[in-house]
Amino acid sequence: MSDPREDATDAGRLWGGRFATGPDEAAWALGVSTAFDRKLWREDLAGSRAHARELHRIGVLDADELEAMLSALDRCGQLFAADEFPLLPSDEDVHGAIERWLVDELGPLGGKLRAGRSRNDQIANDLRLWCRSACDGLVGLIGELQEALAGQAADHLEWLAPGYTHLQRGQPVLLSHHLLAYVWMLDRDAGRLRDARARLDASVLGSGALAGTTLGLDPARYAEDLGFAAVAENSMDAVASRDFAIEVVSACAILAVHLSRLGEEIVLWATSELGFARVGDAFSTGSSIMPQKRNPDVAELVRGKAGRVVGDLVSLLTLVKGLPMTYDRDLQEDKEPVFDAVDTLRLVLPAITGTVASLSFDRDRLEQAAMGGFALATDLAEELVRRGVPFREAHEVVGEVVRLAESRGVDLDGLDPDELAEAHPALDPGVADLLDARAAVDRRDANLGTATSSVRTQLDRARAAAAANRAAI
C-alpha cells in the first residue's frame, strides 16, 4: 500500500493546497478519526442531501447535477449500510472520506458539495442529529424497563416487604411500592433525555466555519429539510458549543447510576442471606469452579457499567472546559464519550429489563422480614401522638418498649399488655391491634403512601408513564 500521507496530499485530504509537504506520520495518526466518526455516516449523508438541495436552489448545482449528486449520496449510503464503504488510510474523517468517494464517483462535480460549508458546521449537525435519535431510542428503552417493573408490581400487588433506611429495617411496605419507586426515578431520566432532545433540536448548517457564508444559503431550509424544530441563533455558538452533548451524556450518567442502584438491589435480594428474589436462569450465570453457584452477573455488570458512563461525562466536561471560541480541534474528542455513553445504555437497558422481568420473589421471606425488627415502632409512637402524647415523649417511650422487647428476645407483639401499659398509660390493650404489618401498610393511604389502595392508583399512573415513554421509540 502506498504511504497514506502521499495520498493525503490530494483527494484524501481536504486541505493540501497551502502546504509544501504532507503531514508527519505521527501527526496524521493522531488526527485520523474515521475509526469512530464513520458511525455518523447516516447523519452526514442527510446533511449532504440537504446541502445539495440548497446549492441547487442558489444555482451552484443545476438540476442534472443535483440529481447525480443525490443518487451518488444514496449509493454511498448503501455502501455504508452494507459495511462496504471503502475507507482508506488516507481518509482523515468521515466527511473527507465521503467527499473523496464522491470525487472518485462523479469527477469534478463531487468537489462542488463543499461550497458554503465547513466540517465545523457539518460535524455539529451530524452529532446533533445522532443525539436526537439516540434520545428517542433511550426513552423507548426506559419505557420498556418501566413496564417490566410495573408488571412485577402488578403481579405482587399485596405482598409485604421490609422498607429500609441505612439498610436497617425501617417500616413495612408493599413490594410493589418499592418496585414502583424505580419507575419514577426512570421517568425523570426519560424527562431529562426529552429535555436535552428539545434543546438540541436546532439546525446549525449555514454557519460554515464560524461566521456564516457569503453564498446566500438559507439556514431555515436546512432546518426544514432535516426536521429540526428551530435554527441556531448564532453561527459561532453553533459550531463551538457542545453543551447539547454534555446534557445528553449527563442524563445518561444519572440514568446509569439509577440502573446501578437497581442492579445492586437485585444482587442483595438474590443473596442467600436475604433470599427475597431469585434471578431467572437466562439472566444468571454459573461458576467455572463452584458447581452450585448461581450468580447475578447481569445485575452486577449493570452496576459496573455506571462507572464508564460517569467517566464519559467527566471526559466531555473536561474536554470543553477552557476551549476558546469557536471550533477547536479538541472537539473531535467529543464523539467517543457520547457514543460510549449511549451505546452502553443501549446494552444495559434491555439486559436489566429482562432481569427484572425474570425475578421470582419469595413471599414468605419478604413477609418475615417486613414484620420483624420492631418495624412497627413508628406506628406505636404515632398512636401515642393520636392519644395526645407529644411526639418527643412518645419516641422515648416506644424506644424503651423496644429495649424491653429486645431484652426478652421478642418483637413488639410479643410483650404482655401489662408491660405496655406500664411503659405508658396510653398504651392500653387496644394498641395490640396496631401491631400488624398489613394494617400498618394500609394506614399509609395518602397518594404517595404504601397503602394497597394508593399503590393501586400509583400503578395506573406508572403504567401510563411507561407507555408514554415506550411510544418514543
Catalytic positions, written as ranges: 166, 287
Q: Smallest gap, in angstroms, from Cβ of residue 120 to ligand ARG?
A: 5
Cis peptide before 452 (omega within 30 of 0): no
Per DSSP, the three-state class of 160 is strand
- The torsion angles phi and psi of 157, rounded to 5 degrees, stand at -55, -35
Supply the minimum distance, in Å, between the C-beta of residue 290 and ligand ARG.
48
Instruction: Give 27 or 471: the residue with its C-beta nearer to ligand ARG.
Output: 27
The H or E element containing residue 291 is: none
Q: How far is CA 63 from CA 60, 114, 463, in A?
A: 10, 17, 52
Cα(45)–Cα(353) distance, rounded to whole angstroms? Answer: 34
Q: CB of 14: closest distance to ligand ARG in angstroms? A: 8
For ligand ARG, the closer of residues 211 and 282 by Cβ is 211
**Of 28 and 182, CB closest to ligand ARG:** 28
Strands 168-174 and 160-165: antiparallel
Nearer to ligand ARG, 97 or 459 (CB): 97
| Degrees, nearest 5: CA angle 154-160-164 | 110
Question: 149: closest CA among 185, 190, 193, 192?
Answer: 185
Across 43-69, b (16+ Cβ under 10 Å) vs e yields: bbbbbbbbbbbbbbeeebbeeebbebb
Residue 431 to residue 384: CA distance in whole angstroms: 9
| Distance (Å, whole) CA 15 – CA 9 | 8
Catalog residues that contact ligand ARG under the rule CB under 6 A: 33, 37, 93, 119-120, 123, 327, 329, 331-332
Instruction: Please enumerate in sequence order all residues whose Cβ is within 8 A of that of 162, keeping only pairs 6 or more positions apart, or say none.
Output: 169, 170, 172, 173, 366, 369, 370, 372, 373, 375
Smallest separation, CB 215 to ligand ARG (Å): 19
Nearer of residues 119 and 424 to ligand ARG, judged by Cβ: 119
Q: Closest separation between CB of residue 96 and ligand ARG, Å?
A: 8
The least distance separating ligand ARG from the CB of residue 141, rounded to whole angstroms, comes to 27
In terms of CB distance, is 9 or 285 closer to ligand ARG?
Answer: 9
